Structure 1
Amino acid sequence: MSLKKQESLVAAIKQSPPIDLSIPYDAAWVKGKTILITGGASGFGAGFVEHWAKNGATVIVGDINTEKGDNLVRQLRRETGNNQVHFVHCDVTDWQSQVNLFKEAVKLSPHGGIDTVVANAGIAGSDPTQQPKGLDAPEPPEPQFKILDVNLTGVMYTTHLAFFWLPKNPGSVPCNKDSKPSEQIRDRHLLLLSSIAGLAPIAIQPQYNAAKHAVVGLFRSLRASSHMEGVRINMVCPYFIDTPIVTTGARLMLAGGATGKVEDVVDATTRFVADSRILGRSLVVGPKVTVKQLDDGQWALANKDTPGSTETALWEPCADDWENVEAFNRNIVKVLNQVQAVRGWVGWATDIWKAIVGSR
């Protein structure tokens, strides 16, 4: 056995194979699912909500913008005939506000549970970290970390609550890469929204950059142990997408280049939500280009009529994190799997004990 095989933990962390984008999925697989999404009132979040509502999902939109959220829900109910689209006011930086969102989602869910949680809420804007004002003052002014609060603390709150409620989803079973998504309605799925800023440096946006890097780190760590609760976790990292979050200044800097399209982000995200076979995977969404894979595995731009070329806007990052690992990760994952195995017997024994004691 080679050293690489000895150190690969892909199977141990229950990760599915690399995403084969040629394998089709059906957006109709979201029908009957209950999906909670933060920040779904605008941007590509609203695109997700519209697409899933059209395909028959129950969607609970949590957003701080009450007017936009309420208008979106009313519009989609009229256009789709789906009355299971709901808006709940939520400030993701406030713990109790998020708790209330999840509680309300469970109440609104036709089956009393949540199948997918999408941690989508995020903001960008002027970042004072590198340009503090009042340099002539005796001491520096207190910095404002709203971008970090929304894009990281808010995501951490959402993640914590997802791991509390998803395993309680009635009728759901632990995630399995061999599941049949066309038949399995109930799910336990957490989808994180990071950014290309989570994989590469973005100038003059240190807060946003730091927060999105942190979300990538959260994903890479959680996917090693999320199977303990039977929760599948995935991530989408959009490039600069043509939405209002891209500021005028950013658009000027991108002039002459290419931006991604909302429909491609919706496509990538819906694949994750609909296809219960995908565990621990991520996709970058960029501008759609025609490429061909070279003999050395690298991709190069190509013409549409080039043999072997393909047109895509999706790329998989962080694909080989667990192929080769060092001692700590190797050992801790083994322990986690042992705990999971023991928990199965303990759970059985506990239920038997309760049944015997309860019958007395």
Structure 2
Amino acid sequence: MAHQEPSSLSDSTWNVVDKIRQSPPVDLSKPYDTSTLSGKSILITGAASGFGAAFARHWASHGANIFIGDLNDTAGEQLIAELRSSSPSQHHAYFHCDVTSWNDQVSLFKSAIAASPTQGIDCVVAGAGIVDVANSFDTPKSLDSNNEPVQPKLKVVEVNLKGVMYTTHLSLFYLPRNSTPESEKRDRHILLVSSVAGIMPLPSQTEYSASKHAVMGLFRSLRSTSYMNHGVRLNVINPYFVETPLLTPGGRVLLAGAPKGKVEDVVDAATRLVADEGIVGRALLIGPKMKVEEDDWMPSLDSPGGEEEGKRSRAVWEIYGHDYEKVETFVWRYLTMLNVLKSVYGWKKTAMEWWGIFRGGSSSQQ
């Protein structure tokens, strides 16, 4: 049979996008409606500081109920006290949680659901993450004079991947079980927090880069099933280097004088994904704001004074915008090749077996 490719990527036979109900590319030039945040119950891991704390403050200001889990009890309790003071009519709570502990995370979800005014969670942000300041993975050490290697500490992977996978798994369990009468109409959303290190290597932080690449693998796998099977939207943000507690002293030295991302731009991108209930399966990268000529990847750093003619200023970019169309074509072709190879191998194996029988011998040795 002659090799045939899909006549068009829009052909329903091959269009994975239609089947998984992925939303169109995000139009970052359009405003979004924050009123959808009002009344939502949002659970955020790792929210005692950094991006999580910024998300909590911003979303609470728009009427959301915020529940956070973290190991930093002092900072976590202080943040919740602040939110309760600024929005006393809403429900906010802090819960001690080690995201690498399954039991801690189960307790976190149950406690947040019990504290929610709707007895359910609408959105979960898997935001807990750490870095290896000592960069121990790249610098193997010997245990003693016998020159035995020291087992590496993989705490970064434990928190950044195992913890995120626990959070995501529990979200897929509890979000569809929102207990309110109108539960079928409620928006359900998981927001993963990766990093620019999830799409490009960060040589000085190998373990961190590996964990964030894995988060992107989690996103790219689940975005094809979470909404289709569970009615749960899944999106991800990838911040560039930003002034948060996660930026190591070495990172600050490396980036001295170089442009960095801004927390407010990360908050804006995350808020768009949480508030716009039509965005499904999309990834946003947030970096330093630049002026970019239309259809030309030659940026200039943003500066005061408004946008120059023919240029637009932006800090947020969509990544993997069209990869399903490209990937499905590649996979179709690759599977076609594998099937052809399998057929050829199967024919060859059968022929060898028959030849062995004809000669009165065995075909087990090939």
With normalisation by structure 2, the TM-score equals 0.82
Corresponding position of 2:216: 216
Aligned residue identity for 2:159:
V
Q: Percent identity?
A: 49
Counterpart of 1:31 in structure 2 is 38
Counterparts of 1:137-216 in structure 2 under 5 Å?
137-169=146-178, 170=180, 171-173=182-184, 186-216=186-216
Q: Computing the radius of gyration over CA atoms, which structure comes out larger, 1 or 2? A: 2
- Is 1:250 the counterpart of 2:251 in the alignment? yes
Residue 19 of structure 1: aligned partner? 26
Query: How far does residue 319 in structure 1 lie from its aligned partner after superposition?
Result: 1.1
Matches within 5 A, 1:208-357: 208-226=208-226, 227-294=228-295, 298-301=296-299, 304-324=306-326, 325=328, 326-327=331-332
- Alignment correspondent of 2:141: 133
Structure 1 letter corresponding to 2:245: P
| Equivalent residues in 2 for 1:105-120, closer than 5 Å | 105-120=112-127
Q: CA deviation at 1:213?
A: 0.1
AA aligned to 1:292 is E
Matched, 1:85 2:92: yes
1:216 partner letter: M
Q: 1:82 to 1:209 in 2, by over 3 A?
A: farther
Residue of structure 2 equivalent to 1:97: 104
User: Distance between the aligned counterparts of 2:123 and 2:297, measured in 1?
Assistant: 33
Task: From the superposition, tell whether residues 311 and 330 of structure 1 become closer, same or farther in structure 2 (CA, over 3 Å).
Answer: farther
Q: Could you tell me how far apart the structure 2 residues matched to 1:52 and 1:330 are?
A: 45
Counterpart amino acid of residue 164 in structure 1 = F
Determine if contact 1:33/1:57 at 8 Å carries over to the other structure. Answer: yes
Worse-matched range after superposition: 113-122 or 2-11: 2-11
Deviation string, structure 1 residues 133-153 (Cα, Å, up to 9, x no partner): 226444212211111100000
Corresponding position of 1:338 = none
Q: 1:328 to 1:224 in 2, by over 3 A?
A: farther
- State the number of aligned residues: 317
Question: What is residue 72 of structure 1 aligned with on the other side?
Answer: 79
1:145-182, CA deviations, whole angstroms, 9 ceiling, x for partnerless residues?
Answer: 11110000000100110000011113233xxxxxxxxx
Question: Which digits, 9 at most, give the CA deviation of each residue in 1:173-204, with x for residues without a partner?
Answer: 3xxxxxxxxxx7x2211110000000000012
Gaps of 5+ in 1: 174-183, 332-360
Give how far 1:225 is off: 1.1
Partner of 1:45: 52
Q: SS of the counterpart of 2:324? A: coil
Q: Please tell me the residue identity of whatever aligns with 1:318.
A: Y
Shift, 1:308, TM fit: 3.2
Instruction: Rate the CA distance shift 1:309–1:91 in 2: closer, same or farther, 3 A.
Output: same
CA–CA distance in structure 2, aligned partners of residues 8 and 238 of structure 1: 30
What code does the residue aligned with 1:4 have?
Answer: L
CA contact (8 A) 1:53 1:82 kept: no
Q: Kindly indicate whether structure 1 or structure 2 has the higher relative contact order, using CA contacts under 8 Å at least 6 residues apart.
A: 1
How far, CA to CA, are the matches of 1:329 and 1:270 in structure 2?
38
RMSD of aligned C-alpha atoms?
1.9
Cα distance change of structure 1 residues 3 and 103 upon mapping to structure 2, 3 Å threshold:
same
User: Secondary structure of the residue that 1:139 maps to in structure 2?
Assistant: coil
Counterpart secondary structure, 2:319: coil
Q: Which residue identity lines up with residue 281 of structure 1 in the other structure?
A: R
Compared CA separation, residues 131 and 268, structure 1 to 2 (3 A): same
Taking the aligned partners of 2:183 and 2:215, their CA distance within structure 1 comes to 26
Q: Which TM-score applies when normalising by structure 1?
A: 0.84
- Structure 2 gaps, min length 5: 1-5, 337-366
1:137–1:71 Cα change, 3 Å: farther
Supply the distance in 2 between the matched residues of 1:283 and 1:26 (Cα, whole angstroms): 18
Cα separation, 1, equivalents of 2:260 and 2:167: 28
